[in-house]
Amino acid sequence: MRLDRLLATRTALSRTRLKALVLDGAVTVGARTIRDPGHRVNAGDAIAVDVPPPEPADPLGENIPLKVVFEDDAMIVIDKPAGLVVHPAAGHPTGTLVNALIAHCGESLSGIGGVKRPGIVHRLDKDTTGLLVVAKTDPAHQALAAQFADHGRTGMLKRGYLAFVWGAPDRPKGTIEAPIARHPKSRDKMAVRAGGRLAITHWQVLERFGKTSGKPVASLIECRLATGRTHQIRVHLAHIGHPLLGDATYGTGFKTKAGQLPPAAREALSGLGRQALHAYLLAVQHPISGELLEFRSELPVDLARLHRSMDRD
């Protein structure tokens, strides 16, 4: 019998909930974690289901420090640190940017994003640092969301990222246009796949670091987004053979290259514990006044240390 069907007959949980638990790795058969709801089970198999405690219906305000770059009655711009999840989700019911914003803004956040994503117009990965704008009213949310949906094609929106990558492209700049979809075997990853959603990243090499066999060991690249897919920069740069330093999800095959870095850079990379990606530029049209607002963020301490420790080409 299929695993999900058997569990549905032995528990009070719905098939949909059980399928989600299986896909999240919360079900074991014997000593093995099974992520396939259609896995065939046999008589005598020992099956365990780890059901997480229920999450609160509404996120609560939490006293989490925020670095506020700009704030008025319509919007707030945050310089997000590494390790801060943007909104509550499976595995992160509390301790998120939303929890911090509820405490900071009170009831002034836009409700369009729903109870778990109030005011959220766009996101940054948990371990990506940098600039992020949040709406404080529903009209502001609608105006900002329209800008992000347009991706700057006809408006003033700009999003710029600094990425430290392995190696260096053989051209000074270029564009990656490759569709992105959920990875076929790993639910927490994305991948370039035929039939995926359109994804476009413009890139430019800013610096090259060191040389081994005549080729740069690493480089600093600026990326500008023309679309906004999950993990887009990380997936695209890995796709062209230049994954981010420190990226445990998309750059695992490049760990041995750390030995080619100078000692100080190896130490900085070892202490990084995250992908080397920073959202340094954000330009938006103010949702009420229409004024162009442009914000820049310096490299955070960990990436600045990595940058200083690199041998320049």
Mention every residue, 6+ apart, whose C-beta is less than 8 A from residue 260.
Answer: 210, 212, 217
Q: Is 58 a catalytic residue?
A: no
Nearest Cα to Cα of residue 137 among 115, 158, 107: 107
Measured CA to CA, the distance from residue 17 to residue 76 in angstroms comes to 36
Identify which of 197, 193, 219 has the alpha carbon closest to the alpha carbon of residue 208.
Answer: 219
- The C-alpha atoms of residue 313 and residue 311 are separated, in whole angstroms, by 6
> What are the Cα distances from residue 294, in Å, to 18, 70, 130, 161, 223?
46, 10, 13, 14, 17
Q: What is the token pair recorded at 230?
A: 């999950």
Marked catalytic residue, from 45, 50, 72, 125: 125
The residues annotated as belonging to the active site are 125
